[in-house]
Amino acid sequence: MNAPVSTPISAPALTKNQSLVFDVLDRSDAPMSAYTILDRLRDHGFRAPLQVYRALDKLLEFGMVHRLESLNAFVACAHPESECCGKGHGHGHGTVAFAICESCGHVSEFHDHEVDHRLSDWAKTKNFKPAKTTIEIRGLCGACAA
Amino acid sequence: MNAPVSTPISAPALTKNQSLVFDVLDRSDAPMSAYTILDRLRDHGFRAPLQVYRALDKLLEFGMVHRLESLNAFVACAHPESECCGKGHGHGHGTVAFAICESCGHVSEFHDHEVDHRLSDWAKTKNFKPAKTTIEIRGLCGACAA
DNA sequence: ATCAATTGCGTTATGCTATAACGTGTGTCA
DNA sequence: TGACACACGTTATAGCATAACGCAATTGAT
């Protein structure tokens, strides 16, 4: 009884743990650490960090969740659900960037082809093969800077 | 006897601990975690993580060291020593990007004005005030990909 | 000179983030 | 039906980072 169960909307059918973790992230308006997620899910039977990390690994693989490296935290992908970050198949077609407000915690996800292009140009000339690119801007959002 | 001592070449005179930490990083050809630095410096009297973290905080502030967020590790700034990343005064004039080889650990530091420009344009239109920007490309360097 | 403020330092303890290693149950399919 | 893959649960441990205390030295204003 541990196999993936079809879910109403999401792309690859998620297992119970995966849905629980995703829902918590999706409902949050700020990034969450694995341990915070764990605490939110104690009532649903979660007892250990690995339960969270294993679900997160899959969700990251599916492109449904992003990891914010500068925060050691996770957010649900902001793109509605179409052509996000290279869902099922492989490499994806673009790198996502994040603007993280250090005051309210809000995160904006965006994409810029030109930035992508410049970075992969650099890689080409250096013969570097990119696997994953991280772009994170920390600062103050419009509301908090005012 | 804990005050900064003039050092041969570096910019703001470093204290003993700061020089020790910087030298270890500068001699390394791969990023090092704070705890690895600590181990390298046991023979020089280092006993606790805080001794390393406090030195790193200052070196980061001076712009002599960078933190790699996706690795939880640190590298000496690659720019020779002139007009690096906004040394003493303040904001610096540019964001530095890193290409990190996941095979050999080598890190290339570079800078791209156009990328900078695109990102700060985005920030302007969103009224976001950037404080610090992280750009890290993980993959395989030319030598390792061959 | 001297006192207050600042900064660096050392130590102990603690907290947060992440993974290793083990075993169980279940669905797939040759 | 037996090998395999995968999700899961649990315990233990590894790795990264900071809080809170107190002392020593330097600076600089009075």
Cα separations in angstroms, B75 against A19, A62, B66, B113 = 38, 32, 5, 22
Mean pLDDT of the B114-121 span: 97
User: Which residue matches tokens 């005179």?
Assistant: B13
Which A residues 122-141 touch B at CB under 8 Å? 122-123, 126-141
Task: Supply the mean pLDDT for chain B.
Answer: 87
Specify the domain boundaries for CATH 1.10.10.10 within chain A. 13-77
Å between A120 CA and nearest CA of chain B: 10
Residue B47 scores a pLDDT above 60: yes
Residue B93: pLDDT above 60? no
Q: At what angle do helices B16-27 and B49-62 cross, to 10 degrees?
A: 80
Cross-strand pairs, B135: A135, B97
3-state secondary structure of B25: helix
State which nucleotides on strand D lie below 7 Å from a protein beta carbon. 6-12, 15-20, 24-27
Query: How long is the CA B2 to C1' C4 vector, in angstroms?
Result: 19
Gap between the Cα atoms of B49 and B55, Å rounded? 10
- Residues B22 and B64: beta-carbon distance below 8 Å: yes
CB contacts < 8 A, A to B, total: 120
pLDDT for A7 equals: 37
Q: CA-to-C1' distance for B55 and C9, Å?
A: 11
Q: Average pLDDT per run of 10 along chain A, which is 146 residues long?
A: 44 89 97 98 97 98 97 91 46 80 97 97 98 98 93
In chain B, list all ranges with CATH 3.30.1490.190: 93-141
SS3 content of chain B, % helix, strand, coil (to 5): 35, 20, 40
Q: Which residue is the nearest neighbor of D27, CA to C1'?
A: B3
Covered bases, chain C (protein CB within 7 Å)? 7-13, 16-21, 25-28
What pLDDT is stored for residue A81 in this prediction? 52
Element (H, E) at B59: helix B49-62
**B142, A128 Cβ separation under 8 angstroms:** yes
Residues of chain B with CATH 1.10.10.10: 12-77
Give the integer Cα–Cα distance in Å for B8 and A10.
Answer: 60
CA distance A10 to A7: 6
Answer CATH for B12-77 from 1.10.10.10, 3.60.15.10, 1.10.1200.10, 3.90.1150.10: 1.10.10.10
| Residue whose entry in the numeric block shows the structure tokens 């344009």 | B121
- In this prediction, residue A11 carries a pLDDT of 59
What's the topology of domain B93-141? Dna Ligase; domain 1 (3.30.1490)
* Contact: A138, B131; criterion CB under 8 Å: yes
Instruction: Kindly report, residue by residue over B2-33, the tens digit of the pLDDT.
Output: 545 433 334 578 999 999 999 999 999 999 99
Confirm or reject contact between B50 and chain A (CB < 8 A).
no
pLDDT at B6: 38
Q: How far is the CA of A20 from the C1' of D6 (A)?
A: 18
CATH class of the domain at A13-77: mainly alpha
Domain with CATH 3.30.1490.190 in chain A: 89-146
Q: A25 is written with which tokens?
A: 């992230």
Name residues whose C-beta falls within 8 Å of residue B10's C-beta, 6 or more positions apart in sequence.
B19, B22, B64, B81
- State the DSSP string of B42-55: GGGT--SHHHHHHH
CB contact under 8 A, A130 and B141: no
pLDDT for B87 beyond 50: no
Helices (DSSP H) in chain A: which residue ranges?
16-27, 34-40, 49-62, 113-126, 142-145
Annotation: CATH topology of A89-146: Dna Ligase; domain 1 (3.30.1490)
